[in-house]
């Protein structure tokens, strides 16, 4: 993981060199519409307010949570908890490792805009990001997986509170569970990668899911700059021959595979 100073410097560079926040200077109609209709969408409808309220409630939860952390965690997780028994509360776990409202809203808006039918989330955690995906693409079929059963149980509870029935939860190790899930999946319209944050694992999961991608698929990777290894993985992935457009939002990296659009890689302020 980067030191705090290196991470701040990297973010400052992103802030300086990132462009097109309001869509100015974008020549691709496809990208321009994403920036103006998705990234810059300020609307907060009733469904999104419901998630925000539940998100806030769980962030304050003092319910004890004890689990064994698997793989490389998120940027917001203490080094001391890597591959160790973690004793915390639900609220602290959400504040440290779950998606923020800003990026949760983005997942919601992406789901609203593209309306993917088959969604795969690699890394459920406590299910906050799952809520945004399931509510945004309410007609979708969502498979979400995580290796920590205690987190999966919390995620199931949050889904029940919003009366969401389009989610299937799998408690499984990614390396063994992902191939089995993909065997039963014809196509992937949307994938959210938020699991093992190592270069090797990220590339492996990307290549596996790529076999099920199609022209209109959308992949989003979380924490693409939280470590040098993840930055390396992101650079490799965005240059994959099948990727025709990538968007770097510093935390999220978004990938498209449309053959009819001009190939390009964009760093956009968000």
Fold of 4-46+99-267: Rossmann fold (3.40.50)
Nearest of 145, 142, 148, 143 to residue 122 by alpha carbon: 145
Please tell me the pTM assigned to this model: 0.91
3-state secondary structure of 5: helix
Quickly tell me which residue has 């779950």 as its tokens: 98
Quick check: 240 and 221 in contact, CB under 8 A?
A: no
pLDDT for 71 equals 60
The rounded distance, in Å, linking the Cα atoms of 211 and 203 is 13
Q: 127-156: string of b/e by CB count within 10 Å (b at 16+)?
A: bbbbbbbbbbbeebbbbbbbbbebbbebbe
pLDDT for 5 equals 77
pLDDT for 117 equals 97
The packing angle between helices 199-210 and 228-238, to 10°, is 30
Domain ranges of the chain: 4-46+99-267
Low-confidence ranges of the chain (pLDDT < 50): 1, 73-82
Quick check: 176 and 151 in contact, CB under 8 A?
A: no
pLDDT for 77 equals 41
- Which helix (H) or strand (E) segment holds residue 139: the answer is none
pLDDT for 76 equals 40
pLDDT for 74 equals 42
């Amino acid at each position: 993981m980067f030191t705090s100073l290196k991470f701040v410097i990297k973010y400052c560079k992103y802030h300086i060199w990132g462009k097109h926040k309001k869509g100015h200077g974008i020549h691709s109609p496809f990208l321009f519409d994403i920036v103006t209709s998705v990234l810059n969408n300020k609307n907060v409808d009733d469904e999104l307010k419901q998630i925000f309220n539940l998100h806030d409630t769980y962030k304050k939860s003092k319910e004890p949570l004890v689990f064994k952390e698997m793989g490389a965690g998120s940027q917001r997780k203490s080094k001391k908890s890597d591959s160790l028994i973690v004793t915390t509360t639900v609220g602290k776990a959400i504040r440290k490792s779950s998606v923020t409202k800003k990026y949760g809203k983005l997942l919601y808006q992406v789901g609203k805009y593209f309306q993917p039918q088959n969604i795969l989330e690699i890394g459920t955690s406590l299910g906050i990001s799952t809520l945004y995906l399931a509510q945004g693409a309410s007609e979708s079929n969502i498979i979400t997986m995580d290796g920590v059963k205690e987190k999966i149980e919390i995620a199931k509870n949050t889904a029940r509170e919003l009366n969401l029935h389009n989610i299937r939860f799998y408690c499984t190790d990614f390396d063994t569970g992902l191939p089995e899930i993909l065997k039963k999946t014809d196509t992937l319209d949307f994938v959210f990668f938020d699991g093992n944050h190592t270069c090797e694992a990220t590339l492996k999961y990307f290549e596996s899911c790529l076999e099920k991608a199609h022209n209109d698929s959308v992949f989003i990777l979380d924490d693409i700059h939280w470590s040098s290894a993840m930055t390396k993985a992101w650079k490799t992935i965005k240059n994959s021959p099948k990727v025709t457009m990538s968007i770097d939002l510093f935390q999220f990296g978004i990938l498209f595979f449309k053959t009819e659009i001009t190939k390009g890689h964009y760093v956009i302020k968000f």
